[in-house]
Amino acid sequence: MPEFFERKQLFTDDGGQLLGSQCKQCGVRQFPPTAICRYCGHDELDEIVLAKTGKVKAFSFDRQFAIGDVELLDGITVFGRIEPLDPERLAVGVPVTLTPLETEDGRIIRFVMDD
């Protein structure tokens, strides 16, 4: 498989944080991690560990849970599940912490609202 299609690891080895890429040419940090910069096409990127915390940027409700975009403290937006399912608390700007969920099908990106 050409490197372009290489599937990159999403989580750190301990599973606690997300990985991203930072382009050595244009400097843009991006998620998911990539072998080719999505902005300038450069093929040299550094692996970076993303912030664990952020704020809800947008959300919608699925049947059993909420899903949405979270803007992490380092400015990168990540899409994931948002818990608990509490329509009265969930709002744009609510602080959340990455809490990956282990399932039979693998690890899922999940954010939990801070108390």
* CB of 33 vs Zn ion, minimal distance in Å: 13
List 39, 61, 65, 79, residue binding Zn ion (CB under 5 A)? 39
Q: Quick check: 8 binds Zn ion (CB under 5 A)? A: no
Closest CA to 82 of 111, 55, 54, 53: 111
Rounded Cα distance between 104 and 26, Å, is: 38
**Of 6, 8, 26, 61, which lies in the binding site for Zn ion, with binding defined by CB under 5 A?**
26
Give least dist CB 20 to Zn ion, A: 13
Q: What DSSP assignment string belongs to 40-108?
A: T--S-EEEEEPPSEEEEEEEEE-SSSEEEEEEETTS-EEEEEEES--TTT--TT-EEEE--EEETTEEE
Name the residue nearer to Zn ion (CB basis): 18 or 23. Answer: 23
User: Is residue 45 at the binding interface for Zn ion, with CB under 5 A as the rule?
Assistant: no
Should residue 40 be labelled a site residue for Zn ion when binding is judged by CB under 5 A?
A: yes
Q: Is 58 in the site for Zn ion (CB under 5 A)?
A: no
